[in-house]
């Protein structure tokens, strides 16, 4: 059974505005070093998958840019979604492409815009997860929590299964939605919970079986697209069907009710790089924090400023007397925001949408 990667490269990373924009989404940003998030995602799996075995699902407006970033991946491996419908449809679309190519395929669903520091261990767990998936398990990669975060969903592990390549494997007891702080503390202290990373490994026939059982309407839509795969009818059919597909996340649509779900808890230095605070933490962990606790990208001149995140482009950012503030200078916009309110960047972007300020989106 051959092993394939399906990289989910939709989404824009709203909370990383003003760096992230509609036409310059998070996966194309150079947030960490000189490689884009998508380039990091390709780099770290290169030894595990041949370029021909890497598929990418992305929106039509981003495909060409992403293809430029990974020229070794064949152009036909970029699967274009007419519009984003959530992770379940994106995975379904990838799955029918893969099933047609190899009905026995094992597929790893991976993300284009997360960061993983311990690449070696990540590669190892992918191989281990493929072993576990071989017998029909839907395998999730659970991130061992480093804090009681309220920003992630959690996976509760049940009884242990066998080890695979030295990794412990557990049945999944349940998937828990993003918790409140009290619940998060309790879950993390119990030792039974890991963060849901959104990375999965399974046989393509098993995930199709779950779509059929749990999302039957979507499965029928998907089957119609699958029926014309490789013909001139594919594009028109996809364009016709996709707007009618219900939005659904794979967690709620499939994983919570699926059979034979396993989790492998891992410590791979994972970060979703979901917001400026999250990026600041990651860069700090990688040693990019100065003695005043500032994380700075770009040119910064500073008087008495501490614990702040300064993310610049080619302009100088000067600060006096700030503590725990995020400043981002990107393109035609500047953001200034206290670190503890960085989640509200999303609201700001929605406001720009409401006010019709399209040039800044």
Rounded to whole angstroms, the Cα distance separating 189 from 285 reads 23
Name which position in 71, 166, 321, 356 contacts a copy of itself (CB under 8 A). 321
- Counting contacts by CB under 8 A, is residue 319 touching a copy of itself? yes
Least separation, in Å, of the C-beta of 322 and a copy of itself? Answer: 6
Q: Cα separations (Å) of 211 from 47, 220, 255, 261, 290?
A: 30, 9, 10, 14, 49
Nearest approach, Cβ of 204 to a copy of itself (angstroms)? Answer: 44
Judged by beta carbon, residue 177 or residue 323, the one nearer a copy of itself is 323
In the set 71, 332, 356, 358, which binds a copy of itself (CB under 8 A)?
Answer: 332
Residue 304 near residue 293 (C-beta atoms within 8 A): no
Phi-psi region at 250: left, alpha or beta (left = phi > 0; alpha = psi -120 to 50)? alpha
| Residue 307: CB minimum distance to a copy of itself, A | 14
Total interface residues for a copy of itself by CB under 8 A: 34
Q: How far is the CB of 33 from a copy of itself (least distance, A)?
A: 23
Residue among 250, 258, 261 at smallest CA distance from 137: 261
- Stretch 257-316 residues interacting with a copy of itself (CB under 8 A): 301, 303, 312, 314-316
Least distance (Å) from a copy of itself to the CB of residue 278?
16
What tokens were used for 263? 């989790």
- The torsion angles phi and psi of 116, rounded to 5 degrees, stand at -130, 120
Of 252 and 360, which has the nearer Cβ to a copy of itself? 360
- Least CB distance from residue 286 to a copy of itself, whole Å? 25
Residue range at the interface with a copy of itself (CB under 8 A); choices 74-82, 93-101, 289-297, 317-325: 317-325
The DSSP code sequence of 216-246 is HHHHHHHHHHHHTTTSTTHHHHHHHHGGGSP
104 is written with which tokens? 């026995």
Burial of 240 (0-12, 13-18, 19+ CB in 10 A): middle
Per-residue contact track with a copy of itself, 18 to 57, x per CB under 8 A? Answer: x---------------------------------------
Where does this chain bind a copy of itself (CB under 8 A)?
A: 17-18, 301, 303, 312, 314-322, 325, 327, 329, 332-338, 341, 344-345, 347-348, 351-352, 355, 357, 360
């Amino acid at each position: 059974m051959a092993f394939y990667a399906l990289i989910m490269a939709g989404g824009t990373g709203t909370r990383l505005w003003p760096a992230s924009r509609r036409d310059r989404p998070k996966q194309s940003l150079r947030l960490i070093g000189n490689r884009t998030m998508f380039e990091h995602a390709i780099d770290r799996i290169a030894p595990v998958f041949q370029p021909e075995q890497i598929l990418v699902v992305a929106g039509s407006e981003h495909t060409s840019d992403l293809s430029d970033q990974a020229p070794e991946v064949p152009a036909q491996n970029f699967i274009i979604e007419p519009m984003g419908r959530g992770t379940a449809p994106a995975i379904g679309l990838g799955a029918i492409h893969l099933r047609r190519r190899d009905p026995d395929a094992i597929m790893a669903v991976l993300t284009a815009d997360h960061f993983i520091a311990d690449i070696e261990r990540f590669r190892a767990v992918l191989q281990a997860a493929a072993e576990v998936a071989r017998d029909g398990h839907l395998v999730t990669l659970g991130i061992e929590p480093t804090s009681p975060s309220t920003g992630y969903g959690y996976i509760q592990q049940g009884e242990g299964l066998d080890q695979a390549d030295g990794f412990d494997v557990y049945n999944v007891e349940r998937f828990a939605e993003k918790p409140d702080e009290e619940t998060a503390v309790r879950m993390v202290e119990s030792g039974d919970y890991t963060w849901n990373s959104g990375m999965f490994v399974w046989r393509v026939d098993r995930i199709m079986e779950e779509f059929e059982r749990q999302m039957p309407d979507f499965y029928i839509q998907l089957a119609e697209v699958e029926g014309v795969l490789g013909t001139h009818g594919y594009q028109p059919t996809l364009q016709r069907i996709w707007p009618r597909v219900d939005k659904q996340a794979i967690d709620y649509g499939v994983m919570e009710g699926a059979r034979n779900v396993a989790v492998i808890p891992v410590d791979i230095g994972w970060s979703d790089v979901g917001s400026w605070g999250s990026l600041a933490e990651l860069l700090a962990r990688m040693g990019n924090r100065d003695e005043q606790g500032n994380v700075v990208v770009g040119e910064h001149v500073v008087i008495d400023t501490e614990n702040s995140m300064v993310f610049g482009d080619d302009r100088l950012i000067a600060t006096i007397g700030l503590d725990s503030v995020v400043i981002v200078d990107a393109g035609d916009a500047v953001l200034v925001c206290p670190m503890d309110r960085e989640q509200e960047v999303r609201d700001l972007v929605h406001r720009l949408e409401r006010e019709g300020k399209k040039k800044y989106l």
